[in-house]
Chains A and B, each alone.
Chain A
């Protein structure tokens, strides 16, 4: 028998170079962030525009979302099905998505088909058709999806939570919109949004793959030179969410579980104590071996998983704990969550800090493995105005956070007294449990997060 009692020690470190991110400007001013990587004949491109759903006008929630559904339903000489056929036959994977802060196009293509893929995406960006029959179809589809979401417990919990935490701003409204707001949208408004918001937004391109800077500039000159930078409206959106703390219940009759969300607003992504906060969150709920998961899952068996995250929109971030628990343990789970929030503000051990530091620093190279991962790592640099060499300093920034800064971050980022506590599940069963365990009166919300 060999000796197995202690874990073997690591051998000498294998060196790893963080890929270099380069920035080039095309004539006209279009900025391209790219990483040249030659291992495989693959190119990942992301086109990221600032025309997200925070620009939805009042009463028109869902306008940016619907525009993103329609933008590739026909462009230039192709109708909707022809256009998609051109992309599909290349084996290129395309995706168009909308968030509060961004309107994003992504393409994953073989190098041999990249130019044609780029040309087609450029047509989508510059010459969408927005035809009436496509508009009617996609609008109906959006309304059907909104209907379906009424039965998605995790979606309901997320959107009701955001309604409370971002009260008074467009971050509190779902990207897809509401039944009433989507019903009121006309095709003319889609065209206006495209013209007034999308075409005047800040557009940037991210590329990873087997491609040189000159090749990129040539593609832009050939296919995207009509993008007009002089038109840009670099507007400031003023954001001051009026968070509405408290204990809330969204009733979901006969649910097998409760979806729980607890959290509060935090500082922006580019604030100086981010790395201290990241270490703190890693310990509290940012990975499997965190306090929250070990308590709720491994100790008590209330859930399949529980965790916490620091989430960042461009103008406002929030800290959020989320889990889904057996309905009978709803109140116990909330009590445990609030207790963990209190405890992390009081004490963090040196062993926990060493673990979290080691975890974040050593896993760092594996975040740059695929072409898509590398490209996606660049998006937050753009969204949050972080320096282009940010990742080169990441490991040393984590290394250099002082222990007391981590505890300080806990006190500033985890605010049990100012938290929104939201439970989605069978109200009758939940309320019965709450009385003896939580000294708070719950208010009921509808599935959109509005008071009943």
Chain B
């Protein structure tokens, strides 16, 4: 049997006087170092009419800073043989690089220059260029993809307009087109500050040297005076609502979304396991019914999508040609009822738990995955070493927990979206 001590993370954590949280995770068996910075700003920090700023920064942060020329960030890291990127979610934005271990100081120089000194290098030209790039990202990833706009339609209907999870991370196209330099500057000054960030360093480095270097490069960066809190109104659907949207697709697809539990909430792990039992394998309830026995759907998936302020439970299924969405929906609801009334088997529970356990071990293969997980746990739980705690959340789930969670969440009204073909098959 696997020894859980594999999942124990040895780390050191401290804060600089300006509020930057630092977590060190040395691993001398690796030839590289990985840095991973989370800024506690995501699309949930935006305002209606001004959406897309958090994601825009994921672009602007690679456009150079006071001492790094435009395109320089990528060039320095790549020339050192490193990899780099960033990502934006509703709750946070992260930036990460891995390089051969002897380039540690280069990473700290680059990350600190854009945390502390981005604005002197921010110009209208750079903004105009990246506005175009982001509009093309939106076209490529959402507008020119079959079913590509489904998620933003679903969430803008599941959540009320004043809830910060009701707009898409990339922002609405109209808002992107209106980005103004002054707003961009203000957004940076407010949220991109050491007291709103945590830095994880992992890999092959000497602790004392790294503590000194982090102090040297990040210590003089000014903190932000006021970081506004987010207003997150409670959400409850009075009745099930249905949206129908026409798209360039051949087959209709059904989306169902329920308000559920937030990340690390009391039902979060049970809902993850519920999603697994419903749809993650060929023997799961919904795949077996829709894909094998009745053969009325081309695919089906479900998941618990949980974040800091709220969560939702989602089921998605594509109809086979000639099959009505109503028929698929009826079978899905029937399976949910059956699960709530008749429970789940020990084998189903074991299968789900084993897949979580394996996934935890597999995730330890890559340093940049581990350091991102450490930041994730630090953000949500304020404890970087939470791999074992997290796995135990799943190990502890009972069949009764799964049934209770299903009953509590899935018996309520939901938001339904149907994406249907614009025209018949060509």
Chain A nearest CB from B34 CB (Å) reads: 10
User: A8-B109, A110-B358 given as contacts; is B282 within 8 A of A81 (CB)?
Assistant: yes
A153: B residues at CB distance < 8 A: 144-145
Roughly how many angstroms separate A363 CA and B100 CA in the complex, as a whole number? 8
Does the CB pair B295–A361 fall under 8 Å?
Answer: no
B361: A residues at CB distance < 8 A: 40-42, 110
One of A4, A80, A362, A364 near B80 (C-beta < 8 A):
A362
Does the CB pair A147–B362 fall under 8 Å?
Answer: no
Does residue A77 face the partner (Cβ distance < 8 Å to B)? Answer: no
One of B117, B141, B288 near A81 (C-beta < 8 A):
B288
Does the CB pair A359–B133 fall under 8 Å?
Answer: no
Does the CB pair A148–B251 fall under 8 Å?
Answer: yes
Does the CB pair B102–A14 fall under 8 Å?
Answer: yes
Closest to B347 in A: A89
One of A2, A299, A326 near B136 (C-beta < 8 A):
A326
Closest to B117 in A: A4
One of A7, A148, A362, A369 near B100 (C-beta < 8 A):
A362
Does the CB pair A89–B113 fall under 8 Å?
Answer: no
Roughly how many angstroms separate A255 CA and B137 CA in the complex, as a whole number? 14
Chain B nearest CB from A451 CB (Å) reads: 17
Roughly how many angstroms separate A298 CA and B60 CA in the complex, as a whole number? 11
Does residue A10 face the partner (Cβ distance < 8 Å to B)? Answer: yes
One of A40, A85, A91, A363 near B283 (C-beta < 8 A):
A85
Give B406-426 as 1s and 0s: 1 = Cβ < 8 Å from A's Cβ atoms: 000000000000000000011
Does the CB pair A364–B81 fall under 8 Å?
Answer: yes
One of A112, A288, A304 near B78 (C-beta < 8 A):
A288
Does the CB pair A366–B32 fall under 8 Å?
Answer: yes
Chain A residues 1-51 with CB under 8 Å of chain B are: 1-2, 4-16, 39-42
Does residue A303 face the partner (Cβ distance < 8 Å to B)? Answer: yes
Roughly how many angstroms separate A289 CA and B74 CA in the complex, as a whole number? 7
Does the CB pair B355–A88 fall under 8 Å?
Answer: yes
Does the CB pair B136–A325 fall under 8 Å?
Answer: yes
Chain B residues 58-77 with CB under 8 Å of chain A are: 66-67, 70-71, 74-76
User: A4-B117, A91-B355, A150-B250 given as contacts; is B133 within 8 A of A301 (CB)?
Assistant: yes
Chain A nearest CB from B73 CB (Å) reads: 10
Does the CB pair A141–B78 fall under 8 Å?
Answer: no
One of B70, B79, B141, B283 near A355 (C-beta < 8 A):
B79
Chain A residues 296-346 with CB under 8 Å of chain B are: 297-304, 324-326
Does the CB pair A4–B67 fall under 8 Å?
Answer: yes
Chain A nearest CB from B194 CB (Å) reads: 15
Does residue B106 face the partner (Cβ distance < 8 Å to A)? Answer: yes
Chain A residues 72-101 with CB under 8 Å of chain B are: 80-81, 84-85, 88-93
B104: A residues at CB distance < 8 A: 11
One of A15, A137, A148, A150 near B426 (C-beta < 8 A):
A150
Does residue A256 face the partner (Cβ distance < 8 Å to B)? Answer: yes
Does residue B132 face the partner (Cβ distance < 8 Å to A)? Answer: yes
Does the CB pair A88–B139 fall under 8 Å?
Answer: no
Roughly how many angstroms separate A14 CA and B100 CA in the complex, as a whole number? 7
One of A144, A255, A359 near B321 (C-beta < 8 A):
A144
User: A89-B347, A254-B248 given as contacts; is B67 within 8 A of A294 (CB)?
Assistant: no
One of B83, B128, B137, B364 near A40 (C-beta < 8 A):
B364
Does the CB pair A257–B320 fall under 8 Å?
Answer: no
B365: A residues at CB distance < 8 A: 40, 42, 369-372
Does residue A240 face the partner (Cβ distance < 8 Å to B)? Answer: no
Does residue B366 face the partner (Cβ distance < 8 Å to A)? Answer: yes
B399: A residues at CB distance < 8 A: none
Closest to B31 in A: A16
For B101, B318, B347, B362, the residue with the greatest tally of chain A CB atoms inside 10 Å of its CB is B362
User: A145-B298, A257-B139 given as contacts; is B106 within 8 A of A151 (CB)?
Assistant: no
Does residue B305 face the partner (Cβ distance < 8 Å to A)? Answer: no
Does residue B183 face the partner (Cβ distance < 8 Å to A)? Answer: no
Does residue A140 face the partner (Cβ distance < 8 Å to B)? Answer: yes
Roughly how many angstroms separate A92 CA and B106 CA in the complex, as a whole number? 39
Does the CB pair B133–A361 fall under 8 Å?
Answer: no
Chain B nearest CB from A424 CB (Å) reads: 10
One of B29, B81, B364 near A361 (C-beta < 8 A):
B81
Does residue B330 face the partner (Cβ distance < 8 Å to A)? Answer: no
One of A5, A108, A294, A363 near B81 (C-beta < 8 A):
A363
Does the CB pair B129–A298 fall under 8 Å?
Answer: yes
One of A16, A109, A148, A256 near B250 (C-beta < 8 A):
A148
Does the CB pair A110–B2 fall under 8 Å?
Answer: yes
Does the CB pair A2–B216 fall under 8 Å?
Answer: yes
A81: B residues at CB distance < 8 A: 282-283, 288, 292
User: A152-B146, A289-B71 given as contacts; is B109 within 8 A of A88 (CB)?
Assistant: no
Does residue A287 face the partner (Cβ distance < 8 Å to B)? Answer: yes
Roughly how many angstroms separate A302 CA and B426 CA in the complex, as a whole number? 30
Closest to B355 in A: A91
Does the CB pair B80–A10 fall under 8 Å?
Answer: yes
Does the CB pair A13–B102 fall under 8 Å?
Answer: yes
Does residue B150 face the partner (Cβ distance < 8 Å to A)? Answer: no
Chain B residues 289-336 with CB under 8 Å of chain A are: 292, 295, 298, 318, 320-321
Closest to B100 in A: A362
Does the CB pair A7–B76 fall under 8 Å?
Answer: yes
A1: B residues at CB distance < 8 A: 220
Chain B nearest CB from A259 CB (Å) reads: 8
Does the CB pair A358–B80 fall under 8 Å?
Answer: yes
Does the CB pair B133–A13 fall under 8 Å?
Answer: no
Roughly how many angstroms separate A10 CA and B109 CA in the complex, as a whole number? 12
B281: A residues at CB distance < 8 A: 84-85, 88
Does the CB pair B250–A147 fall under 8 Å?
Answer: yes
Roughly how many angstroms separate A189 CA and B193 CA in the complex, as a whole number? 64
Does the CB pair B354–A42 fall under 8 Å?
Answer: no
Closest to A147 in B: B250
One of A148, A294, A303 near B71 (C-beta < 8 A):
A294
Chain B nearest CB from A168 CB (Å) reads: 27
Roughly how many angstroms separate A13 CA and B136 CA in the complex, as a whole number? 40
Roughly how many angstroms separate A366 CA and B100 CA in the complex, as a whole number? 8
Chain B nearest CB from A332 CB (Å) reads: 12
Does the CB pair A144–B137 fall under 8 Å?
Answer: no
Closest 5 CB pairs of A and B: A362-B81, A301-B132, A91-B358, A91-B354, A363-B81
A to B CB contacts below 8 Å, 20 in the list: A4-B109, A4-B113, A11-B105, A84-B282, A90-B358, A93-B358, A148-B250, A148-B318, A150-B425, A150-B426, A299-B129, A304-B133, A304-B141, A326-B139, A363-B81, A363-B82, A363-B83, A366-B81, A366-B83, A369-B367
Give residues in A with beta carbon < 8 Å to B. Answer: 1-2, 4-16, 39-42, 80-81, 84-85, 88-93, 108-110, 112, 137, 140-141, 144-145, 147-148, 150-153, 254-257, 287-289, 294, 297-304, 324-326, 355, 358-359, 361-366, 369-372
- Give 17 A-B pairs besides A13-B102, A148-B249, A363-B81 with Cβ atoms closer than 8 angstroms: A7-B106, A8-B109, A13-B100, A81-B282, A89-B350, A90-B354, A91-B359, A140-B320, A144-B321, A148-B250, A151-B249, A153-B144, A256-B139, A257-B143, A302-B132, A324-B139, A359-B81
